[in-house]
Structure 1
């Protein structure tokens, strides 16, 4: 089993390192921060007009890469910097330790080293509120795969810092499902492929032996329960592109304290960021849906919510 896992990792590393840029977009800056004696690195970007009005405050989106990626890969895959510029968001792309995040599964290199990624995200939020005019009531975290699972953990443990989270190509880790208790309701958007070969939509074991996740239905139900949502609006089907996928959107807009849960089941979709650049070939991840743009959906969702 360890040989299979190692071979799987080698394939993904080869694809990631060959398929993504190694430099950030022009205007995106590199920085570090000390967290508990460990130097952590990240990229950040300020929107046009930032600093022109010293009384203005800005929303912050923190986007977390998938396992074996880096912040620069997240910027590239999601095309998020152009959206953040247009919508007036500060955006941060942190780097995980050994290209991973310590989510609730407990199986990544960051988990093995007991890296405190919750403290890392908290420190970034506090720094940017103090130094970059970020509005503390408009802080959002989203991620892909391992980064999406880390976003769930952030919602569970930093409900006093974040207004909403997003998870793409990720479902709720089984280890954290029962213990998750946000300090306040946190709005959640989940985008998951029903044919994901890595994070199984039906629940179970991730990529052979990389921990357990709830099913798509159970993930949705857990967040509906956490936010005490009223019944959903009628589902909406989005199928505007001939790409072998369609998206079924289920919205729960009437939840506790104005929170919301939105679930996108990407029927026929794989382990990918809809309308984003794929770091992996289709033979590894399955289809990438073009029916929705995950980045646009997330930023619109974030803009609706404050803490």
Structure 2
């Protein structure tokens, strides 16, 4: 390789990152939902060969300062969760990415006057109802995955409307210590991901030191896991495995811990990324180096979109399956 091509490659990794795709992704279209606070925008992707009834639904919640377009790979920098569009084409499920709009999610943790007048739980609930009515989504196979502030919103949804969900995932998001989403009462399968060197939402909990009064205090990731384990009655010893390094792209290590032996039953899972920062793990979707200097290292040994779907795939909402 010439010095010029090496230089171009270095510039690309530094300012653009890398975005590889192993397969065909679903096409994304824009939708609008009328809400009391005004029209709300979302992106939706439906497989052409989806069954007329019974398709799973994965709702993806973007992080603070991002958008539905970013988390679906349509805006810079493309999120590793955008690989869900390729997984959905392969596995035949529907993907919906709501857009928080100005001020971000009304998640109850970050304090934003612009978000205060919105009911984002009701917004997501309405999207679930629409997907069931218009796209034949199976009410027993509805899942929510959120990253960063979207993870706080996932906790709030899981606490407020657990009857709608079969499972949820909170990525790089410790639970808030107080407020909505901090004290769930119903058990749900939960996948939680955290990096021990996250400079923005610390693994150990507390508060990012530059947050001032813009956000409340957080539990640790381990305490967040313990909340959902307690609700699920998962008190036995877990299955723990170290994820073999695959990428050599950064000095991080991943431990996968699962409480609950049945993939179709009650489970709580933790991906602990030692040395990992505030960046979703991925080998195929790499954030630019200048972003990683701010957020910390991005692990490349776990493909987060695949991990999320593997956790969701066998889960069913027993109440919805029984028609309750």
TM-score (norm 1): 0.85
Task: Identify which of 108, 125, 128 aligns with 2:128.
Answer: 125
Q: How does 1:180-219 map to 2 (within 5 A)?
A: 180-182=184-186, 185-206=187-208, 208-209=210-211, 210-219=215-224
Q: What residue in structure 1 maps to residue 69 of structure 2? A: 72
Return 5+ residue gaps in structure 1 as ranges. 1-17
Q: Which residue of 1 aligns with 2:153?
A: 150
For residues 124-176 of structure 1, the C-alpha deviation after alignment (integer angstroms, 9 at most, x for no partner) is 00001011100000000011100011101111111110111101111111114
Q: State which structure, 1 or 2, has the greater radius of gyration over its C-alpha atoms.
A: 2
For these two proteins, the number of residue pairs brought into alignment is 281
Match of 1:223 in 2: 228
Evaluate the alpha carbon distance shift between residue 195 and residue 29 of structure 1 in structure 2; reply closer, same or farther with a 3 A threshold: same
Structure 2: gaps (5+ residues): 1-15, 20-24, 74-78, 318-324
Q: Secondary structure in 1 aligned to 2:173?
A: coil
SS in 1 for 2:178: helix
Worse overlay, 139-148 or 74-83: 74-83
Alignment-derived partner of residue 95 in structure 1 = 99
Q: Where do residues 1-307 of structure 1 align in structure 2 (5 Å cutoff)?
A: 27-50=27-50, 54=52, 56-76=53-73, 77=79, 78=81, 79-98=83-102, 100-111=104-115, 113-176=116-179, 179-182=183-186, 185-206=187-208, 208-209=210-211, 210-241=215-246, 242=248, 243-254=250-261, 258-275=265-282, 276-278=285-287, 281-307=291-317
The question of whether the paired residues in 2 share the 8 Å contact of 1:96 and 1:110 is answered with: no
Alignment check: 8 A CA contact 2:239 2:259 kept = no
Q: Secondary structure at the match of 2:162?
A: coil
Distance 2:40 2:95 in 1: 16
Question: Is the CA contact 1:246–1:266 (under 8 Å) kept in the aligned structure 2?
Answer: yes
Say whether the 8 Å CA contact 1:172–1:219 is kept in structure 2: yes
Match of 2:8 in 1: none
Report runs of 4+ in structure 1 exceeding 6 Å deviation: 18-21
Alpha-carbon distance in 1 for matches of 2:17, 2:301: 23
Q: 1:237 to 1:97 in 2, by over 3 A?
A: same
SS in 2 for 1:189: strand
Root-mean-square deviation (CA, aligned residues, Å) is: 2.4
Alignment partners' CA distance in 1, 2:46 and 2:26: 12
C-alpha displacement of 1:106: 4.3
Alpha carbons 1:69, 1:99 under 8 Å: kept: no
**What is the TM-score when the length of structure 2 is the normalising length?**
0.81
